[in-house]
Amino acid sequence: MIISVTMNPSVDISYRLEEFRLNGVNRVENVLKTAGGKGLNVARVVHLLNSPVMATGILGGTIGDFIESQLQLDGISHDFLKTDQESRNCIAILHDGNQTEILEAGPTFSKQEEMQFLQHYSKLLEKGEVVTISGSLPRGLEASLYSQMILLAKQQQIPVILDCSEKILKQVLDFQEARPLAIKPNIDELNELLNLQVSADDINGLREAVSHSCFSGIDWVLVSLGAKGAFIKYLDDYYFARIPKVPVVNPVGSGDSVVAGLAVAILQKKTVENVIKTAMTTGVLNAMETQTGFVNSEKFDFVYSQIEIQKIM
């Protein structure tokens, strides 16, 4: 099965207001509360693709209970380490065409909790075949935790797909002993990481960027380019993936859906072309839906058949 890790999950609360009264009382009728976090999006999309998945990370308090109940409702298997620290809420206030966000910092974990999580994760690895690690780390935990998780998976020959901010990615890449099988920066993250300004249309620039020595030992470097598809390095080969024009509803979480597609295709030991097409299809399918981290698998074949892959010589 695929083990999908979210170290910093949240309950995402959205308040839709006609008008935002600063320093006044705002009453809300439209409240939406969902289990949030990039790895939870990955888990949901894997589940919607009918592949086996286990969501994990650290949860605590009544907010943690709510996240678990949402996963339960969606039928997603989960096994989180429980702490007595409350998980966080992230609030988005949608008003007058604007979005004001209030993000709780969330819990701070100690070295002891880090050790407990690593033990918990090691047990899960006994059942794992692919691991995905997504998103930020709560306070108290550092990028070295991701490196340790990659190392533990590697000892069991379990591939890891890592999708995190350029700041954490840089620190993980600096640690040569623990290479993930795949990473999925978007173009902005790639540029930040390498201090470049490559555009999505600059094939030579992209090729040069993904050939940077910091990526050595990583089989898959998939740079997602939003509506322009993706540029991919697989071992010593380079590919450009073109995607069809589709009615876009909400592209947020498309990157997480790409990670889910990658994980499923890698789990199923698909060909290189199939892995790329699956990852692109899930990204596109997410962009066509209102819900973040959601795909309609009935449209899978239709979108898949329209993805074009060009090998770059």
* Dist CA 46 CA 244 (whole Å): 22
282: three-class secondary structure by DSSP:
helix
To 10 degrees, what angle do helices 143-155 and 166-174 make? 50
- Which of 56, 191, 224, 278 binds ligand ATP (CB under 6 A)? It is 224
Among the listed ranges 52-60, 122-130, 133-141, 246-254, the one in contact with ligand ATP (CB under 6 A) is 246-254
Q: Strands 130-134 and 88-95: what pairing?
A: unpaired
The CA distances from residue 45 to 42, 264, 265, 270, in Å, are 5, 10, 13, 18
- Which of 87, 132, 186, 278 binds ligand ATP (CB under 6 A)? It is 186
- Interface with ligand ATP includes 309 (CB under 6 A)? no
The per-residue DSSP string of 189-229 comes to HHHHHHT----TT-HHHHHHHHT-GGGTT-SEEEEE-GGG-
Contact partners, residue 310, CB within 8 Å, separation at least 6: 239, 240, 241, 242
Smallest distance from the beta carbon of 250 to ligand ATP, in angstroms?
9
Smallest distance from the beta carbon of 309 to ligand ATP, in angstroms?
12
- Interface with ligand ATP includes 252 (CB under 6 A)? yes
- Interface with ligand ATP includes 248 (CB under 6 A)? yes
- Interface with ligand ATP includes 284 (CB under 6 A)? yes
Give me the residue whose beta carbon is nearest to ligand ATP. 255
Total residues interacting with ligand ATP, rule: CB under 6 A: 21
- Interface with ligand ATP includes 230 (CB under 6 A)? yes
Q: Map the footprint of ligand ATP across residues 53-82, applying CB under 6 A.
A: none
- Interface with ligand ATP includes 229 (CB under 6 A)? yes
- Interface with ligand ATP includes 243 (CB under 6 A)? yes
The CA distances from residue 30 to 90, 92, 94, 102, in Å, are 16, 12, 10, 17
Smallest distance from the beta carbon of 278 to ligand ATP, in angstroms?
11
Residue type, 126: E
309 φ/ψ sector (left φ>0, alpha ψ -120 to 50, else beta): beta
Among the listed ranges 54-62, 119-127, 138-146, 223-231, the one in contact with ligand ATP (CB under 6 A) is 223-231
Residues that bind ligand ATP (CB under 6 A): 186, 224-227, 229-230, 243, 246, 248, 251-256, 258, 280, 283-284, 287
